[in-house]
Amino acid sequence: MTTTDRSGRVIDRHRLLARLQELGEIGKEPSGGRTRLALTSEDKEARDRVVMWLEEAGAQVRVDRIGNIYGLVDGEVRDAPVMIGSHIDTVPCAGAYDGCYGVVAGIEVLQTLIQRRERLRRRVIVAAFTNEEGVRFAPDLLGSRVLAKDTALNDALAISARDGALVGEELQRIGYAGETSPWELLPGVFVELHIEQGPLLDAAGIPIGVVEAVQGHSWWRVTIEGAANHAGTTPMDARRDAGAAAMSLATKIMRRASDAHVPNVATVGTMTLEPNVINIVPGRATFTIDFRDHRNETLRNAERQLEEGLRELQGMGLRTSSECVSRHAPVRFDAGLCALLEALSAELGLPARRMLSGASHDAQMMAGVCPTAMIFVPSHLGISHNPREHTEPDALARGADLLLYTVLRLASDAGGRDGIAGI
Ligand SMILES: [Zn+2]
């Protein structure tokens, strides 16, 4: 490693900030937000910009069959490259940072390595993954999911959007149906830099989060059926009130999460009563539950408690059904890599805190491929997926500096899993 600059100001912060701003202009709306759903013309424009910057940086550019974009710089060996990156698709009316920060900082790292003529033992690759947000095409994390073989390539290409478009056809249309095999450049280690999207680092005034795990989630749709009846004439003890049953179960779930943290967080985000009339006892209630936790066992406990709650309601003469809409097991990141990130933060004089990610990220898929970890930087007031998303320029530059140091350390090591765990 030839970088000895300890000032923590080693990347070109002006270029980093200017590019982030430029990318944030693509798909911009009068409201101040930007919308670049995956594989739309706006996404194409942003992709073209990323490719242009990679070429400007002197990186080789590849696009794989699921549309993931890679910029790479060669090392002495081809095996087990060091991969960094994130995504540039957005939710509707998004902020300018989210995944864009990880991609633009990745390009900045690559450009810095090339300009400084760093001698690298291992290849370094920056990736921009396809359809991370999952707004237009479900499931989310699609590009990294294909790499991790969680979804087969052909199945991914055949996914259709709500607007009827197919992933494969849209990739052709925007010119990003690449020829590289998604598994040709599989990394030996992956690090994703991202804004926290939560309030913890900002509130604590800590510049760096070392992410140890991503919360898993378990989403349910619950239906309770009783009997609709006259609200004036039906005595309380003669009712089979589906609304009251749904509310009491929802309250019980919420109380367990706040009092016993089973699970970490629980949300009843929707509830519909039928017939939804002021003077009729509800005959039917449908609601959703979002359980999240970083411990799979706790997530299972919460699911068991939901089942018990539903059985209790059945004992009271109500019919119930429940359907799991989506489930991701929690993911733990590589302990050796987390320790390395912490040590390098200390070398740069940046206080760091270990934490969990509440949101999903491509890194959770990459954790199934190779040792993986994430770096978080503070999000102002924890606001994200919103035009008011903001991270201070200093904080953005510090995160990118840490990413550069991390890549330099990892790329100077020829080992795979053992090499990294041994750091
Ligand atoms: Zn993101």
* pLDDT tens digits along 132-156: 999 999 889 999 999 999 999 999 9
Q: What is the pTM of this model?
A: 0.85
Ligand 1 center from residue 109 Cα (angstroms): 19
Is the pLDDT at 7 greater than 80? The verdict is: no
Ligand 1 center from residue 21 Cα (angstroms): 16
Ligand 1 center from residue 186 Cα (angstroms): 21
Ligand 1 center from residue 236 Cα (angstroms): 49
Paired residues of 190 in beta bridges: 83, 372
Sequence letter at residue 417: R
β strands within 294-337, DSSP E: 319-328, 331-332
Say if CB 287 and CB 272 are below 8 A apart.
Answer: yes
ω before 275 within 30° of 0 (cis)?
yes
Pick the closest to residue 210 from 46, 11, 351 (CA basis).
Answer: 351
To the nearest whole percent, how much of the chain has pLDDT over 70?
A: 95
Is the pLDDT at 4 greater than 60? The verdict is: no
Q: How high is the pLDDT of residue 162?
A: 79
Distance, in Å, from the CA atom of 358 to the CA atom of 64, rounded to the nearest integer, reads 29
Q: How high is the pLDDT of residue 421?
A: 38
Sequence letter at residue 418: D
DSSP class of residue 220 equals: E
Ligand 1 center from residue 262 Cα (angstroms): 26
Average pLDDT, the chain: 94
Ligand 1 center from residue 24 Cα (angstroms): 14
Ligand 1 center from residue 141 Cα (angstroms): 9
Is the pLDDT at 376 greater than 90? The verdict is: yes
pLDDT-derived band at 261 (thresholds 50, 70, 90) equals very high
Instruction: Provide mean pLDDT across the span 296-303.
Output: 96
Ligand 1 center from residue 361 Cα (angstroms): 6
Ligand 1 center from residue 70 Cα (angstroms): 17
Q: Is 221 helix (H, G, I), strand (E, B) or coil?
A: strand
Task: Provide Rg for the chain, Cα atoms.
Answer: 24
How many C-beta neighbours within 10 Å does residue 270 have?
Answer: 11
Ligand 1 center from residue 356 Cα (angstroms): 15
Q: Give Cβ neighbours of residue 365 (< 8 Å, ≥ 6 apart).
A: 141, 144, 145, 147, 148, 150
Pick the closest to residue 401 from 112, 72, 55 (CA basis).
Answer: 112
Instruction: Provide mean pLDDT across the span 52-75.
Output: 98
Distance, in Å, from the CA atom of 204 to the CA atom of 201, rounded to the nearest integer, reads 5
Ligand 1 center from residue 40 Cα (angstroms): 18
Q: How high is the pLDDT of residue 163?
A: 86
Tokens of residue 410, six digits: 């990892």
Is the pLDDT at 5 greater than 80? The verdict is: no
Say if CB 132 and CB 89 are below 8 A apart.
Answer: yes
Ligand 1 center from residue 98 Cα (angstroms): 5
Ligand 1 center from residue 382 Cα (angstroms): 14
